[in-house]
Amino acid sequence: MMIKELGGKVESVWEGLRPVTKNMLEGALQAGKSNILNPKTPKFFYDAHADFEVSRLLSALDERSKSKEIRKDAVKLGEINQLADICVLVLESQSASAEVFIQLAERAIKDNDYNRLDKLGDHLAERYSAGEIAEIVRQTDMPQIRAIAYETLAMMSISALVPLLDDPLYAGIAAGALEQKAFEFDSEEARDILEQFDSENGQGGN
């Protein structure tokens, strides 16, 4: 695959990748998708920077795949889709970022791929912090994504949700999750915490 033939923006983003990220993606392309899921090969330290790099490359690939020029070139479109699939798999298997989750969920919804959307929801519970899940709710307007995030928050422990009540950005979201715990899951502890939270807020407004 010649990256420079996939368009100027894709080439520019690719050239900005760290060598370790390029090597990982190139190795995955050569060996197949299973290579990403093997913890021994390639050796790859995944961090927030890798999240940003791979997410940015995926955005460039998606943008390029919509161009009329590429839509008429089956070979190049296939190459773009192949590299995009690798990026998605990397992000799905490693990322714990709100922004990346939204990006992947929006792609799944656009493609009507609800099996993939369900798997993304499973990743939330396995890998994401309560704060990152609340950030997903805060950043997206898509009801499907908000519903998944809220449902995941409601399944988390009360001890994970309570600290969010002290954060102005997430207090309302945490209260919503606690309300779901209180009334859908019949949690007396959640009800008590909500009553205290509402009482304190009321006092603060007087």
The end-to-end CA distance of the chain, in Å, is: 65
Write out pLDDT tens, residues 22-59. 988 888 888 765 555 554 444 456 678 889 999 999 99
Query: Who wins on pLDDT, 107 or 27?
Result: 107
Report pLDDT for 35. 53
> DSSP letters of 110-138?
HTT-HHHHHHHHHHHHHH--HHHHHHHHH
Report pLDDT for 1. 64
Amino acid type, 119 = K
Report pLDDT for 204. 43
What is the model's pTM?
Answer: 0.86
3-class secondary structure, 129: coil
As a whole-number percent, the residues of the chain with pLDDT over 90 amount to 67
What mean pLDDT comes out for the span 94-102? 93
| Structure-token match 């656009």, residue found | 110
Report pLDDT for 186. 92
3-class secondary structure, 22: helix
Does the structure show a pLDDT above 80 at 122? yes
Phi/psi region, residue 47 (left: phi>0; alpha: psi -120 to 50; beta: rest), is beta
